[in-house]
Structure 1
Amino acid sequence: MQYLDIIIIGGGAAGFFAAINAAEFNPNLKIAIFERGKEVLTKVKISGGGRCNVTHAEFIPKELSLNYPRGEKELLGPFHGFMTGDTMEWFEKRGIELKIEDDGRVFPVSDDSQSIINCFLQETERLKIQVFKSHAVQNFGKEENFWSVKTNKGDFSAGKIMLATGSNPKMWSMLKKLGHQIIEPVPSLFTFNIQDVRIKDLPGITTEAEVKINSKKINLESKGPLLITHWGMSGPGILKLSAWGARDLEKLNYQFEILVNWLPGFTSEEILADLKDLKTELAKQQVVKNAQFDLPKRLWKNLVIASNILEGTTWADLNKNQLQDLSDQLIKGIFKVNGKSTFKEEFVTAGGVNLKEINFKTFESKLHKNLFLAGEVLNIDAITGGFNFQNAWTGGFLAAKAMSED
């Protein structure tokens, strides 16, 4: 049986970050990462469309924590210990130049996630951290004063152990046996499946919108870019709603209605008044052919036709009902959602280890000494990828600090 000081189960973002930082805090430690797959850092590889959305440019701990539907309260303290600015400095110190895009997402200047992966692999090699691929953990448990880990390739033991295994039901099951409560996982970031003539044949169109769940029981709304896809609606505005509504929408079996305001910030009354002005100003022009309010032309056309306005109709020809219908389509169009689609590779869940069982100063289990947990193995998730990575970096760093101490 090989003995190590620290065993980290899970070769993803949180696992590598913890291992590297622990080795830097204490170079004398024998540290190993166990990854069940043939490759490590697979989520890092495909995140952000292969560019790796490292973090998000929000530099105030309280404001940063507001982006976590589950974990908001618990992460506030940890973010005072390690957050966005620290993450950016960490990577830049290791030769990875970063850039902040207009929407706040942070990417490597290379626009290639391989830069991040190479950085991690070089660091593990430099610090002599062992990386065991294709090592599936079959069981782990607490002996008298150490942890034993049984894998498909052999048995190991360590003084401290960390789980950074993401949404892995098998590992959750093992933690359950140790007394931890697992909050049942449900999908968190997903797109809405919508079959509707108003958005048919418009995939690729993006526009700012306000989206609200059309239900008296669920008070959820979000604002942001909405992307029309082949199967319905996506984009940050929709993904935020799916994250905050993860559990409520699962209870509805993903069958519900949404209200879409294509002109965020405006009311029906304001738009109706504008439309009446346009009826006079553009009297002889065809309604369909004159997109207004900076809306994409094809979307405008579909919303006009949905308002019982025939092609060829001029602004002067519009009656009171048509003006009201067009105002409603622009401000409170009702769309029926029939199911969801998830990004299989970037799958994020709401669920995991109950946060009440974790000491968030160290990310150590309150139930078992020298057992640490970080990343999505915990019941923490965020509204986009960059925030999920920041959770991994913060948890990995603080756990590393605690694990490196005697």
Structure 2
Amino acid sequence: MKAGPEAEHEDEHDALVGFLDGLTRLLLSTSGEGAEQVERSVTSAARGLGGAASVAVLPDTATVAVTSHGRRTAIVVRAFPEVFRMDRVVALKPLLEEVAAGRLDVRRAGVRLTAITRAAPPYPWWAKLLGVVLFSVGFAPLMQPTWYEVGSTAVLAAVAACLAVAADRMPRLAMVLPLVAAVTVSLLALELFARSPAHGGPVLLMLPALFFFVPGDYLSAAAAELAAGYLTTGAVRLVYAVALLVQLYVGVVLGLVITGRPRQDLFDVAAGADLPRWALFASWIVFTAGALLAFAVPARLLGMLLVLVYLTVGVQTGFTRLVGDVGGTFTAAVVLGAVTTWLARRPGGPPRLVLVLPGFFTLTVGSLGMRGLTALAGGYAIEGFRDLTELVTLVTAIGTGLLLGAVLAQRPGAGT
């Protein structure tokens, strides 16, 4: 039986391993910025607590080798990646800063980490439901700037939001949520709203209600990881994102089969615009408020997120007129990446992932994948391949643009 300093060192080592286990699990579950952020956070935390760690990361798994007090332990951590609890990301950043600066010992750090992981969501379930609806309604004018689009989206998104909230309590539903949501929205859109070409194509009526489930964040994170040299992680995340897109596509097609509508009904020609300019401007406020509730972002960040959304939209719109869609999207991603990195590196600043999230969604990359797949299913080969080609181009533009912006704004040797 060991006693004295040797036993104390073993206890300290075990406590460090336990803390890094919990930290890695939380970071993996919120790994919207990719593998580099997970690796950097774990290694700097271990260093701040008097040890050392080497990390090998995949989207849902990390192997962490911890060295301290003359001992070495390797652990394998698994967690499913998602972006639905941004309140945890916000609470984790100051803890990581204190740990990296050596202001906390491992036991106090562990207590605070446990409090973060066990904390209840900041908003009740109905607030998330409302958030998904607002998120979709705010996005709707980007598909078709018509009152009919906004009204139909409100109904379809309410149904999709009910499914999203139910999936939080039903793990089996969560596993097939994109498919179930797509089938349900497809059926309702085809039977209730897509009865006349004057209202636009069925795909354009469905997409805003399904936007919450479209994996645009995974696609762009995969592109950034590949660009940064994390080849295995980026490739795995890319495959997962494509699998989610295919689930949505199959769900839309199943709705078509169940209703007996011909494949050619899956066109996406837009109706004539009738929304006034003020409504288009205000839609981004609705969108940002919805994102805040849907992704559990603390309410105090609403003003900052609104500024970032309008900045992203303004840059993208202005540069698209000058250099086209790809150039405008890339420039907006660079600006968003640089500004959010600069804001996040300030003492007490919010995490970059939270700041990037609403602005990133304004670039709407994932919906192109859905439009391309459904256009192909409807027999519109040229339009489908055009949308899919544009998807690949814009995914790369957004991912590399955000990465370049972060590199330009980041201090040498500093994290985001």
Give the TM interval when normalised to the shorter protein.
under 0.3
Give the TM-score normalised by the residue count of structure 2. 0.24
Structure having the larger proportion of residues in strand: 1
State the structure with more CA Rg.
Answer: 1
Structure having the larger proportion of residues in helix: 2
For CA contacts below 8 A with separation 6 or more, give which structure has more relative contact order. Answer: 1
Give the TM-score normalised by the residue count of structure 1. 0.25
